[in-house]
Every structure is written in C-alpha cells, then in structure tokens.
Structure 1
Amino acid sequence: MSELIKILVLGDIVGRAGRRALAQHLPRLIDQHHIDFTVANGENLAAGFGTTRNTAEEMFRLGIDVLTNGNHCWDQRDFLRHIEQDERLIRPLNFSPRAPGRGWTVRETAAGHRIAVINLIGQVFMGPWSCPFEAAQQALAEIPDDVQAILVDMHAEATSEKMGMSWFLDGRVSFVYGTHTHVPTCDEVIHASGTAYQSDIGMTGSYQSIIGMKVESALAR
C-alpha cells in the first residue's frame, strides 16, 4: 500500500456559484493531481444557508468524500433526516449531544487508506456551544488507531481559538484548518510535532460578492 496520500481540502462552498465552479473544475483537478480524498465544508451549499439532500448528493457525485458543516447546519429542514442516514455528512461535534448526526467520521480511499475527519465549531463570537477542545479530546479517544490521517475542520471566527486548537492537537492529528470567514489566510505552517495548520482556507464561491453573498443584499443589511 502506498504511503503517499493526496488530500484536497476545500473551504465553504457558497451557493450556486460555488457548486458550478466545482462542477467545472473538481473532477479535472482530482484526476490531474491524483487526489485520493476530498473534504469540503458544505454549510453554505443551498444559496448560502445550509445543506440539502440534493446539493449534498451533487457534491458527492463530483468526487467529494466528506462534507463538514457549521453554524448554518440546521438551516434546511430535510438535512435533519439526511445527516442521520449518510456517514459522509458530519456536523460540529460540540453541538448538543442530542443533535442529529455525528461529529466525526472515518472513510476509506480507493487504495484502502482510512481517513478520519473531525468537525468542530468555535465559541468565540459564535454561540453557546460546548467546549471544542473537550470535544476534540473525546474524538481522538474514539477514533480507531488504524487511520492514516486525521483532518480537523475548526469552524470558527476567532483566529486565536483556531490557532489554539492547532497547538492543542499538534502531533495528534494531520491538519487543523479554519473555515467560516470565507477569507483565506497566508499563515500556513507545520508545527513542531508535525501537525499542519492554516487559520482559514477560504471559500469556493463568487469573488464578485461579499464573502460569497450578493453585494446588494449584504450592503442592505
């Protein structure tokens, strides 16, 4: 079994523009770069607000293996049932323990590599969620030992909280990356014990916009 695993990580996919961009480019990128595993944040798939069964299935057909989520997780009613039925869909682990779905998943690539994905949501400027650090610790205790990589989508506003998570998990996971702000940062780093980190990986959406949303509607607010 090859030890090299190529993983593509995409930030928040925003609305129709984001979905069209992926439809046009993602299959080619996966083929051209021999990508083994693709994960994306899907909380803005449906016109910027949540995920539907149809938009999720569209992304899976294009080659995405796991869709993470965030604070817009429950904006679409049918998602409540769909997330219970599909292990490729996850939501922040530190939501209420009574929330539908799961906060982490393990998927297998075509070559047999097992990849774990953990979804967390921040507390600072975000909402009264449970502690993401405790949730991460819980996930690591439950994830099987035979996984080859662990990815952590930290859906959060505050850079300090995301950066803190990366140091907390240094040496225990492969990559901690931020989503939510839709603005990519240029602070990519590999920490002392080997964990890669980026504060925000940006979005897949229209850049003739305000963080993916129509300029007129955003200005009106």
Structure 2
Amino acid sequence: MSERVKILVIGDIIGKAGRRALTEHLPALIDLHQIDFVVANGENLAHGFGLNERVAEEMFALGVHVLTNGNHCWDQREFLELVDEDDRYVRPMNFTEYAPGRGWTVQETGMGHKIAVINLIGQTFMGPWDCPFAAVDRAMDEIPDDVSAILVDMHAEATSEKMGMGWHMDGRASFVYGTHTHIPTCDEIIHASGTAYQSDIGMTGSYQSIIGMKVEGALYRMVRRLPQRFEAVERGGSIFATMVSINPDTRMATSIERIHIPPAQ
C-alpha cells in the first residue's frame, strides 16, 4: 500500500492578520506534520476583498500549492487576468461561462502525487450562480484518472447545501469542505465510503472582529442599516485549518483533524 498523502486545508485567509499568522506558523506546521500539499481559500487575502499577485505570492512562498476563491473573486481587477495565466488559482466552477480562469486544477506534491482541487460556489443566499452539483459532475468527468486525491471547496452560506455536496460526492471525492462563513465547525467526519467532510474550515484571521472585519463598521451597518465600508482587522490572527490523510491508491481519507493556532497573548 502506498504511503499516505497528508493534506492541509486552510479556510478563508482574511487580510493582513491572516497572512501574518500564516507567515509566523505555516512553515513550521508543514514540517511538524510532514504535510505534502496545502490548499487555502484566498478570496479575502487583499484587505479582506479579493486577491492580487503580491499577496498570493506571499502564500505560495510559504508553501501553499493552490488558492481557491468565492464571491469576492473579482474584487481586485488584476485577478481577472491573473487567474487565466496561472493554474495555481481556481475560481468557482459554476460561475458564468464567460468567467476567466478554471474551476479545477491538478498540482503535484514533492513526491509526485497528483492532487485535484475543485472550487464551487453555493446558490442559497449567494447569488444566481449555475448549479454547483452539475458543475462538480462536469469537473469529475474532466479530471484525469491518475490523481491521488480530489478536494472540493464548497464556498457557500447554507450548511445544508454544503452537506448536500458532501453526500453528492460521497465515495467520489477525498475531502469535501465548506468555506465562506468564516466560522469553524466541529463536524469533521469520514463517511463510511471514505470521503472526509467538514461544513466550514473557518477563517484564518482575527476573531476579535465580526467575521474578520472591524466591529465598529460592521455594527454600524447592522444597527443603523446605512452604508459603511468594511475594514479588515490587521493584527491578532488565529489559524484554523484541517489536516486529512489520504490513501492515494483509493483516494479515500484515513484520518481528519482540525488544527487551531491562537494568536500570541
């Protein structure tokens, strides 16, 4: 039996606080757990809104292999070209057919294992996107057979829709996980089929906030119901991530573990 492939999944990275936390801890985390592959959601990397080449390269230099996205995908205009040029970026597969970029990618670990990453976006409370279930089936038809693991980032608001995707991909994907809500869930599980699942990885950013944003601005919107610019908190980031081990012969998960690194006191 082949050696297990260890994969670290990081949820939404929120601005400078999230990037600082990963700069401080990610290389050591990779070494400690002998991580083979790292995927992170990058749609909030640049001040909490979208990503650009500079902040993305920071993450790649730390050991991230693939950056997935979501509803803030196009907040930074330069990303419209960047996503077409570099296959380490993916955007939701069920975006409009006119969207640049790709909805899945395959990247290799240092040991030569091929890891497929699929990005989807939910429909419930999220916007008029195409069906994510049809999109993921299409991705599965396109992904080559020689991959050792298949990861699915379901960027969605509704827990039920994320769980539905987990069951839709049961026995086909290695790990189906949710992003977007910025709140970690403790429902990590490996189904009897061997597909790992978690409703939301949670954000890497400051939890002295409202989903990563300064409390004052977010509360102003909620209480007064008037426009107010959101600003990402820049310090005190926590890391939330999930580690899964995959049997490359079967593509199925053999273990799953949540990881939390709080900010320094």
Normalised-by-shorter TM-score class = over 0.9
1:200 equivalent in alignment to 2:214: no
Output one character per residue of 1:102-124: Cα deviation in whole Å (capped at 9) or x when no partner. 00000000000000000000000
Which residue does the alignment assign to 2:41?
A: 41
User: 2:174 and 2:212 mapped to 1: Cα distance?
Assistant: 28
Which residue does the alignment assign to 2:32?
A: 32
Which structure has the greater CA radius of gyration? Answer: 2
Which residue does the alignment assign to 1:79?
A: 79
Structure with the higher strand share, 1 or 2: 2
Alignment of 1:94-133 (within 5 A): 94-133=94-133
Which residue does the alignment assign to 2:219?
A: 219
User: 2:56 and 2:171 mapped to 1: Cα distance?
Assistant: 32
Output one character per residue of 1:39-81: Cα deviation in whole Å (capped at 9) or x when no partner. 0000000111001111111110011000000000000011111
Alignment of 1:11-30 (within 5 A): 11-30=11-30
State the aligned residue count.
221
Percentage identity across aligned positions?
76
User: 2:30 and 2:186 mapped to 1: Cα distance?
Assistant: 23
Give the superposed CA RMSD. 0.9
User: 1:174 and 1:146 mapped to 2: Cα distance?
Assistant: 14
Q: Secondary structure at the match of 2:5?
A: coil
Alignment of 1:138-157 (within 5 A): 138-157=138-157
The AA in structure 2 aligned to 1:152 is V
Output one character per residue of 1:1-31: Cα deviation in whole Å (capped at 9) or x when no partner. 9421010000000000000000000011111
Which residue does the alignment assign to 1:178?
A: 178
In the superposition, the TM-score normalised over structure 2's length comes to 0.82
1:50 equivalent in alignment to 2:64: no
Which residue does the alignment assign to 1:159?
A: 159
User: 1:57 and 1:96 mapped to 2: Cα distance?
Assistant: 27
User: 2:114 and 2:198 mapped to 1: Cα distance?
Assistant: 23
Which residue does the alignment assign to 1:187?
A: 187
- Where relative contact order (Cα < 8 A, 6+ residues apart) is larger, the structure is 2
User: 2:21 and 2:75 mapped to 1: Cα distance?
Assistant: 23
Alpha-carbon shift at residue 140 of structure 1 (Å): 0.3
The AA in structure 2 aligned to 1:219 is L
Moved over 3 A (4+): none
Output one character per residue of 1:182-203: Cα deviation in whole Å (capped at 9) or x when no partner. 0011111112211110000100
User: 2:100 and 2:208 mapped to 1: Cα distance?
Assistant: 35
